[in-house]
Amino acid sequence: KQEVTQIPAALSVPEGENLVLNCSFTDSAIYNLQWFRQDPGKGLTSLLLIQSSQREQTSGRLNASLDKSSGRSTLYIAASQPGDSATYLCAAPKAAGNKLTFGGGTRVLVKP
Amino acid sequence: DAGVIQSPRHEVTEMGQEVTLRCKPISGHNSLFWYRQTMMRGLELLIYFNNNVPIDDSGMPEDRFSAKMPNASFSTLKIQPSEPRDSAVYFCASSLHTYEQYFGPGTRLTVT
C-alpha cells in the first residue's frame, strides 16, 4: 500500500525566501508524481507532474525533483511571494490508471 | 476550456435525505475520479472511471454511496441515506489516459 507523507505540515517564511517542500512515498514503483496547490475553500490546482522516468520538472519559479530510489520528491519555489501562501499537496499513483494517494499537505504562509 | 464543472457548490441537507452530486469532466478526458476531503482524513479517492466504466470503487465507504457515469460528459455521486459523518468537500477530477488530473471546485456537503 502506497503511503505519502509531507513534512512539515506547516511552514512560514518571509517574502523573498526560497521555499523547499518535501514529499516522501513508501512504494517507489510510481508511474508519476503530481504537485498541487489548494487555496482555502477552493479546489486543487495542478502545478507540476513528473513522470517516473524524469528527474525534475520546471515551470516558472517552480521546480520539482523526483528521486524514486529514495522515495522522495521536492518542490522548490524561488523568491516566494505572499500570493504563494496556500496548501501544497503531492500525490502519486502506483501505476498508469491507478488511484492517486495524497500526502497530508504542507500549509505555507509567506509573510510580507 | 471550462474545466471540470461540479454542482451544486454547496449542499445542506438533513440526515436521512438523498444527496446527488454532479460532475462534468473536461471534454475529451477519458478518466474521472471522485474524491472526498475532510480535516481528519485528508483527500481520499472514492471511485474512478475509465471510459465510463468503474475501475476501482474500493474507496467507497459504504453501500449508501453509489456513483454512475452514463456517458463521457456526466457523472453522479449519490448518498442515500445521508448521515452527518458524510459532511465533507467532494471533488471530481478528470484526466486523459490517467495522466495529469484536473480538479473541479468541489461540492461542500453539510448533513445536519
pLDDT digits (tens, 9 = 90+) for B56-96: 888 898 899 999 999 999 999 999 999 999 999 999 999 98
Q: How many Cβ pairs within 8 Å bridge chains A and B?
A: 47
Nearest to A43 among B33, B55, B104 (CB): B104
Interface of B with A (CB under 8 A): 31, 33, 42-45, 48, 50, 55-56, 59, 91, 93, 97-106
Q: Considering only CB atoms, which chain A residues are within 8 Å of B93?
A: 44
Matching residue, cell 514503483: A29
Q: Considering only CB atoms, which chain B residues are within 8 Å of A49?
A: 99-100
Q: Considering only CB atoms, which chain A residues are within 8 Å of B90?
A: none
Q: Considering only CB atoms, which chain B residues are within 8 Å of A97?
A: 31, 50, 55, 97-98
CA distance B109 to chain A (A): 13
Predicted pLDDT at A97: 59
Instruction: Name the amino acid, one letter, at B36.
Output: R
Q: CB burial class (10 A; 0-12, 13-18, 19+) of residue B92? A: buried
For residue A94, is pLDDT > 80? no
What is the distance between the alpha carbons of residues B73 and B60, in angstroms, rounded to a whole number? 21
Which is nearest to B108 in space by CA: B42, B21, B45, B40?
B21
User: No. of H helices and E strands in chain B?
Assistant: 0, 11
Predicted pLDDT at A29: 86
Q: Give which of B98, B102, B109 to mutate to test A binding, by max A Cβ within 10 Å.
A: B98
Could you tell me which residue, A61 or A1, shows the higher pLDDT? Answer: A61
CA distance B65 to chain A (A): 18
Mean pLDDT is lowest, of A12-21, A45-54, B86-95, for A45-54
Contact criterion met (CB below 8 Å) for B69 and B52: yes
Cα–Cα–Cα angle for A93, A77, A35, nearest 5°? 15
Matching residue, cell 509567506: A110
Whether residue A89 lies within 8 A of chain B, CB to CB, comes out as yes
For residue B1, is pLDDT > 70? no
Predicted pLDDT at B97: 73
Mean pLDDT, chain B, as a whole number?
93
Average pLDDT over residues A18-47: 92
Could you tell me which residue, B94 or B1, shows the higher pLDDT? Answer: B94
Grid cell, residue B66, equals: 453509489
Grid cell, residue A27, equals: 512504494
Predicted pLDDT at A100: 85
Handedness of CA A95, A99, A105, A111 (dihedral sign): positive
Which is nearest to B34 in space by CA: B12, B61, B67, B5?
B67
Between chains, do A99 and B59 touch, taking CB under 8 Å as contact? yes
For residue B98, is pLDDT > 60? no
**Measured torsion, CA atoms of residues B8, B10, B14, B16, in degrees rounded to the nearest 10:** 40
Cα–Cα–Cα angle for A59, A47, B1, nearest 5°? 105
